[in-house]
Amino acid sequence: MQIAIGALLAWPTFGLHVEFDPELFLVLFIPPLLFADGWKNANPRIY
């Protein structure tokens, strides 16, 4: 459902154009994703 909504919003006829800085993506989204993956995959043998 979310993919379909995103595809409709990105359709060129609607004219919705969003500028997104790649550095902002790296700063805002990548660290929380890496932290969450590390938290879920914590291996007690490492500690």
Structure tokens at 12: 């060129």
- Torsion angle, CA of 30/24/22/1, rounded to 10 degrees? 70
Query: Residue 47: its pLDDT value, please?
Result: 59
- Per-residue pLDDT for the chain (47 aa), expressed as one digit of tens each? 888 988 887 777 766 677 878 898 888 889 999 998 888 887 777 65
Query: Residue 46: its pLDDT value, please?
Result: 66
Query: Residue 31: its pLDDT value, please?
Result: 92
The model's pTM: 0.45
Alpha-carbon gap, residue 32 to 25, rounded angstroms: 11
Count of positions (residues) in the chain: 47
Structure tokens at 6: 């995103």
Query: Residue 5: its pLDDT value, please?
Result: 86
